[in-house]
């Protein structure tokens, strides 16, 4: 090509040497991440669903406290003035659990007491047995389970006391040597409620949030591809910066959401006086957050690949299926797994996000186990991020058709 | 200066670019022409780093181009696209920041750019609520938002109405006046001829011609156009005799009109004398081929 004659031209544009960064300019991945977050925070569906989750978490804690603290009252009808019946009734009340209460309703005579039961105003009537020296527990169609168990015990105790007095001794003396104590060979500190609930809570939280933000990554990738803006972006910043920005933004949002939910639950437990439960789940919850972050990062680039091999948003249903299946498997293994299945799951990357904290709550895992398992997730994350980033770079600019992963792996950089 | 040396690009077994050299000089507008599939878009994508070359390299100011250099360039891809659901100003600010501007700087630049493009009133509208013409203007703004160090535009004039073509041309001239190297591809050769200082012609992945517009037009050699008028007897005249004049290559004869090249000095003057002897001459003039004619010639 011939050299033009006009050679003296001013230096182009306001620029800043070879750095490509001007004063005030930010690293490309941060600009990308900021946009992702800003777009999400303005998305009403996103904000709405987060608020719903938060409300559900608060409701769960409050409901748990209310249900746990509620006392149930049983009404027992007695004939006024029958001292023996009154004593047995009082003893029955003493035998009830801390959350149950016995209310003694006095009736003028046996007929009136039975009428109370028939009318549903009393759960049962305790009467002197007609034609005998025993007692009679009268129910309407059935006698409440706790009463039919506890009233005979109370009656026996009452009889024993009276017989002992008649024989000039005490019930304690008569029952000496009958005391039975319990001893556990392997006392577990685990709270049974926490052990049952933990896998469910961890499982759902991980499953919902991982899918929500994983999908968000895939969606954001395919949207840029579908709208073709990706070619401009690719010309401005390295694709890796684009990927990093998306992963960081969605990861941070996911973490913030999980932390907010976990925080609400922990603070809620403390506020409703479930301090004991808090002590049992505090450390596992923190581990859950650690595993969540690692597991999310491990899958983040795979989600990006699922987005980049699609050409339209509609394709995502197909391209994200393997991820959904993997998450579902991790979810089920954590929730329903027990014994060796749970142990294995607690070492399988991603599945360990649910399984390891679950084992920690149950007090089954030694102190070093979460460390080893976290190391495995970290390793998996490094591998998956590298492979994922490469596949993403290769498929992102193919806007003409869906790419197959095998084809992308074979292609040389 | 933005240049390419020996660019080769293969897709599987197909060779799309086969050793393309290219120079886009600062302060000059370079037109990039070629038939569909000649490799223009592939070349431009390689210049911007969207695509990697199989061989060859892209140079900026004489050294291998870096990602940082490219961050300062402006690009308008063939397949237009921005964020359809985002507000106009907002996404331009985002792109400006991706190009390395600070937020305030980007806002200021977007403000004045939208003003210049007559889009100031639409700054806070979603992109997809704009007409196609206005979306195209936003696309141009996206390439200019950071005051690019070089501009590479793939078919910037396609789909524009005549007024929009003029506006786009004016914008590009401003950038050229700023000293920026500008490369654009187009099938509208009259436009390229009118706007460009330099032209590069691509055919089947090879550069088949390059140079300034006058240089390219002169490639056809010194052609002369001759037209004779109706004679005294009212006969329109026929230049068929031209074929018998020695030292003349006849390119085209169409009744009273002809196009020829003088293969030896003075041959054209002999033709003129002979024509005048036979009757009135209406036109005798040097004739340069248009760019389209040169284009047809070189890509054949």
Summarize pLDDT for B135-152 with one digit per residue, the tens.
Answer: 888 999 999 999 999 999
A335 and A244: one domain?
Answer: yes
A139 and A257: one domain?
Answer: no
| A256 CB neighbour count, 10 Å cutoff | 12
Q: Which of B85, B205, B80 is nearest to B142 (CA)?
A: B80
**In the sheet that B206-212 helps form, which strands lie side by side, from edge to edge?**
B74-76, B151-153, B182-185, B29-34, B198-203, B206-212
Does a structural domain hold residue A176?
no
- Low-confidence residues in chain A, pLDDT < 50: 1-23, 413
SS3 A125: strand
- Counting one residue from chain A and one from chain B, the pairs whose CB atoms sit within 8 A come to 133
- Position B174 scores a pLDDT of 92
Does a structural domain hold residue A258?
yes
A405 and A297: one domain?
Answer: yes
A140 and A226: one domain?
Answer: no
CATH number at residue A79: 3.40.190.10
Match 């007491």 to its residue by tokens: A113
pLDDT digits (tens, 9 = 90+) for A217-239: 999 999 998 888 988 998 998 88
A205 and A318: one domain?
Answer: yes
A150 and A284: one domain?
Answer: no
A131 and A270: one domain?
Answer: no
Helices B103-116 and B88-98: crossing angle, nearest 10°? 130
- Which strand (E) or helix (H) includes residue B166? helix B162-177
A210 and A143: one domain?
Answer: no
The radius of gyration of chain A from alpha carbons, rounded to an integer in Å, stands at: 34
How far apart, in whole angstroms, are the C-alpha atoms of residue B164 and residue B160? 6
| Chain A residues lying within 8 Å of B183, measured CB to CB | none
Q: What angle do CA A21, A23, A26 make, to 5 degrees?
A: 55
SS3 B118: coil
Tell me the longest C-alpha to C-alpha distance in chain A.
Answer: 133
Q: Which of A22, A39, A223 sits opposite B100 (nearest CB)?
A: A22
pLDDT digits (tens, 9 = 90+) for A86-137: 888 888 888 877 667 888 888 888 888 888 888 888 888 888 888 777 888 8
| B170 CB neighbour count, 10 Å cutoff | 10
The radius of gyration of chain B from alpha carbons, rounded to an integer in Å, stands at: 25
Residue A142: partners with Cβ closer than 8 Å, 6 or more residues away = none
- Position A184 scores a pLDDT of 75
pLDDT digits (tens, 9 = 90+) for B245-258: 888 888 888 888 89
Write the burial class of residue B205 (CB in 10 Å: 0-12 exposed, 13-18 middle, 19+ buried): buried
| A98 CB neighbour count, 10 Å cutoff | 6
- Position A24 scores a pLDDT of 53
Q: Hey, of A222, A231, A403, which one would you mutate to test binding to chain B, going by the most B CBs within 10 A of its CB?
A: A231
Residue A19: partners with Cβ closer than 8 Å, 6 or more residues away = B68
Mean pLDDT of chain B: 89
| Chain A residues lying within 8 Å of B27, measured CB to CB | 6, 9-10
Question: End-to-end alpha-carbon separation of chain B, Å?
Answer: 30
Does a structural domain hold residue A32?
no
SS3 A227: coil
Q: Least CA distance to A32: which residue of chain B?
A: B98
**In the sheet that B223-228 helps form, which strands lie side by side, from edge to edge?**
B248-254, B257-262, B223-228, B281-287
Give the distance from residue B166's alpha carbon to the nearest chain A alpha carbon, in angstroms.
23
- Which strand (E) or helix (H) includes residue B30? strand B29-34
How far apart, in whole angstroms, are the C-alpha atoms of residue B126 and residue B91? 10
Does a structural domain hold residue A181?
no
A200 and A303: one domain?
Answer: yes
How far apart, in whole angstroms, are the C-alpha atoms of residue A281 and residue A362? 9
Q: Is B73 a residue whose pLDDT tops 80?
A: yes
Q: Which residue has the higher pLDDT, A197 or B82?
A: B82
Q: How far, in Å, are A391, B105, B117, B147 from residue B102 at the CA level?
A: 32, 5, 22, 13
Does a structural domain hold residue A26?
no
Q: What angle do CA B63, B67, B73 make, to 5 degrees?
A: 85
SS3 A277: helix
- Give the least confident one: A177-186, B10-19, B200-209: A177-186
Instruction: Test A235 with B70 for CB contact under 8 angstroms.
Output: yes
A156 and A200: one domain?
Answer: no
Instruction: Test B149 with A15 for CB contact under 8 angstroms.
Output: yes
A371 and A243: one domain?
Answer: yes
pLDDT band at B2 (very low <50, low <70, confident <90, very high): very high
Q: What is the DSSP string of A324-382?
A: HHHHHHHHHHHHH--THHHHHHTTSTTTHHHHHHHHHHTT-S-THHHHHHHHHHHHHHH
Residue count of chain B, please give it: 300
- Which strand (E) or helix (H) includes residue B206? strand B206-212
How far apart, in whole angstroms, are the C-alpha atoms of residue A263 and residue A336? 25
- Position A9 scores a pLDDT of 37
Does a structural domain hold residue A327?
yes
A202 and A314: one domain?
Answer: yes
Question: End-to-end alpha-carbon separation of chain A, Å?
Answer: 32
Please give the DSSP secondary-structure letter assigned to residue B129. Answer: G
Match 């889009």 to its residue by tokens: B119
How far apart, in whole angstroms, are the C-alpha atoms of residue B19 and residue A194? 70
**Bridge partners for A104 per DSSP:** A76
Instruction: Test A18 with B66 for CB contact under 8 angstroms.
Output: yes
Does a structural domain hold residue A177?
no
Tell me the percentage of chain B whose pLDDT exceeds 70.
Answer: 97
Quickly count helices (H) and strands (E) in chain A: 16, 4
pLDDT band at B220 (very low <50, low <70, confident <90, very high): low
Q: Which of A112, A115, A328 is nearest to A214 (CA)?
A: A328
Distance from chain centroid for Cα B114: 26
Q: Least CA distance to B176: which residue of chain A?
A: A12
Decide if A235 contacts B49 (C-beta within 8 A): yes
Does a structural domain hold residue A38?
no
- Position A23 scores a pLDDT of 45
Q: Which of A20, A23, A26 sits opposite B71 (nearest CB)?
A: A20
Domain boundary among A118, A136, A171: A171
Joined tokens for residue B16:
């799309």
Joined tokens for residue A371:
């460390």
Query: What are the structural domains, with CATH classification, of chain B?
Result: 2-217 (3.40.50.300), 221-299 (3.30.70)
Domain boundary among A171, A206, A225: A171
- Position B97 scores a pLDDT of 93
Instruction: Test A4 with B197 for CB contact under 8 angstroms.
Output: yes
How far apart, in whole angstroms, are the C-alpha atoms of residue A328 and residue A322? 10
- Position A4 scores a pLDDT of 43
Joined tokens for residue A216:
């968000």
- Position A18 scores a pLDDT of 35
Domain boundary among A171, A201, A225: A171
A126 is in which domain, residue-wise? 73-171
Task: Work out how many domains chain A is built from and give that number.
Answer: 2
Please give the DSSP secondary-structure letter assigned to residue A35. Answer: H
Q: How far, in Å, are A230, A233, B137, B220 from residue B82 at the CA level?
A: 8, 9, 12, 43
């Amino acid at each position: 090509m011939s050299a033009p004659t006009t050679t003296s031209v001013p230096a182009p544009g306001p620029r800043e040497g070879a750095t490509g960064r001007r004063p005030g300019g930010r690293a490309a991945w941060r600009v990308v991440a900021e946009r992702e977050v800003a777009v999400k925070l303005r998305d009403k569906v996103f904000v709405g669903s987060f608020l719903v989750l938060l409300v559900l978490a608060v409701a769960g804690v409050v409901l748990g406290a209310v249900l746990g603290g509620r006392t149930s009252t049983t009404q027992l009808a007695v004939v006024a003035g029958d001292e023996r019946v009154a004593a047995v009734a009082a003893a029955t009340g003493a035998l009830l659990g801390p959350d149950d209460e016995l209310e003694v309703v006095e009736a003028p005579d046996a007929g009136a007491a039975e009428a109370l039961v028939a009318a549903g105003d009393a759960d049962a009537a305790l009467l002197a047995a007609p034609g005998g020296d025993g007692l009679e527990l009268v129910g309407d169609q059935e006698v409440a389970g706790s009463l039919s168990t506890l009233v005979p015990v109370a009656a026996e105790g009452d009889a024993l006391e009276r017989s002992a007095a008649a024989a000039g001794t005490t019930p304690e003396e008569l029952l000496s040597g009958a005391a039975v104590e319990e001893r556990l060979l392997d006392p577990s500190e685990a709270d049974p409620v926490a052990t049952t609930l933990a896998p469910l809570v961890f499982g759902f939280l991980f499953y919902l949030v991982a899918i929500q933000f994983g999908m968000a990554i895939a969606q954001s990738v395919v949207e840029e591809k579908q709208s073709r803006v990706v070619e401009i972006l690719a010309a401005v910043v390295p694709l890796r910066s684009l990927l990093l920005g998306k992963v960081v933004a969605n990861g941070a949002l996911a973490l913030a959401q999980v932390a907010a939910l976990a925080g609400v639950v922990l603070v809620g437990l403390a506020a409703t006086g479930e301090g004991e439960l808090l002590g049992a789940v505090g450390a596992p919850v923190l581990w859950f957050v650690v595993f969540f972050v690692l597991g999310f990062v491990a899958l983040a680039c795979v989600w990006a690949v699922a987005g980049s091999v699609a050409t339209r948003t509609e394709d995502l249903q197909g391209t994200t299926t393997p991820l959904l299946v993997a998450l579902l498997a991790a979810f089920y293994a954590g929730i329903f797994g027990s014994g060796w299945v749970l142990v294995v799951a607690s070492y399988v990357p991603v599945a360990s996000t649910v399984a390891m904290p679950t084992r920690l709550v149950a007090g089954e895992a030694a102190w070093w186990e979460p460390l080893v398992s976290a190391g495995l997730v970290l390793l998996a994350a490094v591998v998956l991020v590298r492979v994922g980033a490469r596949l993403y770079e290769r498929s992102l600019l193919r806007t003409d058709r869906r790419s197959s992963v095998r084809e992308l792996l074979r292609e040389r950089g | 200066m933005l240049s390419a040396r020996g660019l080769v690009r293969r897709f599987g077994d197909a060779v799309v670019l086969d050793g393309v050299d290219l120079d886009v000089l600062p302060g000059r507008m370079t037109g990039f022409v070629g038939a569909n599939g000649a490799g223009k878009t592939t070349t431009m994508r390689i210049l911007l780093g969207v695509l990697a070359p199989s061989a060859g390299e892209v140079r900026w100011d004489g050294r291998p181009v870096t990602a940082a250099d490219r961050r300062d360039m402006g690009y308008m891809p063939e397949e237009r696209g921005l964020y359809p659901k985002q507000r106009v100003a907002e996404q331009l600010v985002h792109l400006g920041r991706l190009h390395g501007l600070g937020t305030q700087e980007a806002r200021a630049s977007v403000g004045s750019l939208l003003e210049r493009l007559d889009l100031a009133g639409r700054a806070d509208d979603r992109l997809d609520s704009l007409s196609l013409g206005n979306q195209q203007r936003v696309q141009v703004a996206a390439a200019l938002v950071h005051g690019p160090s070089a501009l590479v535009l793939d078919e910037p004039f396609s789909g524009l109405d005549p007024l929009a073509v003029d506006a786009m041309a004016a914008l590009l001239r401003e950038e050229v006046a700023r000293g920026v190297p500008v490369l654009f591809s187009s099938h509208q050769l009259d436009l390229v001829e009118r706007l460009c200082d330099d032209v590069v012609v691509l055919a089947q992945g090879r550069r088949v011609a390059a140079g300034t517009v006058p240089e390219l037009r002169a490639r056809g050699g010194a052609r002369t156009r001759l037209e004779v008028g109706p004679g005294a007897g009212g006969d329109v005249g026929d230049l068929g005799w031209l074929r018998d004049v020695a030292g003349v290559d006849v390119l085209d004869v169409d009744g009273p009109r002809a196009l020829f090249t003088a293969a030896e000095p003075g041959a054209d003057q002999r033709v003129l004398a002979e024509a005048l002897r036979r009757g009135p001459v209406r036109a005798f003039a040097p004739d340069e081929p248009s760019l389209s004619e040169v284009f047809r010639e070189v890509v054949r």
